[in-house]
């Protein structure tokens, strides 16, 4: 698969361009934010899946191999959009999952050129920044008064985590062990909101987004209560003038990994369901239901891309 690599120092953003083969003509491109790197298995699998839908893919990430998000400059999306326009892409979409689901919504609220936004398991607020640098033996830690994203050199207002380093990761590990999951932080996010109810300035301004917006979530998500967050987005749009067309795809089972089934099969041809069962107790206890959710997401998302 042909690719072109970009760096913040040289190009203004970190990413990899995965264009369709020359024989396939298309003016549609999707900014894709999956995995720890723009070149890892998850990003490449997402790009291949988008190629099957007739879309170019531009994978973006904070660093070459870094899932930590702290003061991520939103201006990087502006640079990426400039590049896509230069390639003749008249339609630009964006897809993110989990933390990058938040990032997709925020980026789309700042850049009206984005006409399709897909957020899998997103929050409806800007998160506090975090690092995954292994400090003091902890896989992840909060930033030092840093937002997940910044604009014009300033951190955007964010919901602060209930705990600081090292208690932050210790709480996540304790919750994960108690629930039988590889990772769980839903109680921590609930406690964060209890201590600091989300303020207006911390909420994502979804009413600024143009085009079609699709938020996908499952009730059994143990990272955070994404269905509650998505319902708040829906209510915000009911209460606020907006131009976007919003869709909430909510499921009882599906876990935090509410991805299209065929995308997971590209990533793990022999065990697409295995990853979900290993990561989450709900995936192990309800494999059939989770797979049915992924199949439904697959059908609906392919249809949305055809209609775009």
Q: How far is CA 41 from CA 38, 185, 268, 308, in A?
A: 9, 25, 9, 26
Model-level pTM?
0.96
Q: For residues 46 and 63, what is the distance between their CA atoms, to the nearest angstrom? A: 18
Predicted confidence pLDDT, tens digits, the chain (308 residues):
899 999 999 999 999 999 999 878 789 999 999 988 899 999 999 999 999 999 999 999 988 766 778 999 999 999 999 999 999 999 999 999 999 999 999 999 999 999 999 999 999 999 999 999 999 999 999 998 899 999 999 999 999 999 999 999 999 999 999 999 999 999 999 999 999 999 999 999 999 999 999 999 999 999 999 999 999 999 999 999 999 999 999 999 999 999 999 999 998 876 678 889 999 999 999 999 999 999 999 999 999 999 99
Non-local CB neighbours of 167 within 8 Å, separated by 6+ positions: none
Q: Is it true that domain 4-307 has CATH number 3.40.50.1820? A: yes
Domain boundaries, the chain: 4-307
Nearest to 280 by CA among 196, 183, 205: 183
Neighbour-count burial of 231, counting CB atoms closer than 10 A to its CB (0-12 exposed, 13-18 middle, 19+ buried) = middle
β-pairing, 212-218 vs 128-131, is unpaired
């Amino acid at each position: 698969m042909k690719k072109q690599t970009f760096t913040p120092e040289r190009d203004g953003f970190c990413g990899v361009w995965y264009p369709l083969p020359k024989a396939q003509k298309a003016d549609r491109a999707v900014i894709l934010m999956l995995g720890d790197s723009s070149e890892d298995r998850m990003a490449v699998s997402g790009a291949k899946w988008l190629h099957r839908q007739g879309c170019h893919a531009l994978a973006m990430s904070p660093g070459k191999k870094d899932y930590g998000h702290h003061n991520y400059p939103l201006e990087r999306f502006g640079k990426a959009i400039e590049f896509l326009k230069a390639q003749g892409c008249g339609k630009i979409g964006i897809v993110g999952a989990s933390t990058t689901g938040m990032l997709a919504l925020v980026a789309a609220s700042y850049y009206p050129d984005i006409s399709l936004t897909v957020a899998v398991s997103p929050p409806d607020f800007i998160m506090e920044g975090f690092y995954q640098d292994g400090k003091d033996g902890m896989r992840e830690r909060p930033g030092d008064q840093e937002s997940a994203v910044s604009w014009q050199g300033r951190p955007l207002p964010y919901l602060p985590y209930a705990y600081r380093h090292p208690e932050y990761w210790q709480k996540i590990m304790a919750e994960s062990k108690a629930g039988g999951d590889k990772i769980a932080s839903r109680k921590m996010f609930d406690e964060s909101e209890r201590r600091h109810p989300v303020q207006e300035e911390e909420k994502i301004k979804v009413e600024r987004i143009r085009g079609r917006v699709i938020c996908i979530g499952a009730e059994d998500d143990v990272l955070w209560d994404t269905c509650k967050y998505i319902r708040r987005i829906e209510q915000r749009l009911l209460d606020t003038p907006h131009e976007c067309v919003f869709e909430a795809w909510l499921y009882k089972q599906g876990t935090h990994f509410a991805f299209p089934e065929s995308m997971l099969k590209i990533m793990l041809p022999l065990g697409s369901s295995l990853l979900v069962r290993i990561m989450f107790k709900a995936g192990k206890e309800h494999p059939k239901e989770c797979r049915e959710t992924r199949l439904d997401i697959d059908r609906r998302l392919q249809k949305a891309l055809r209609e775009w």
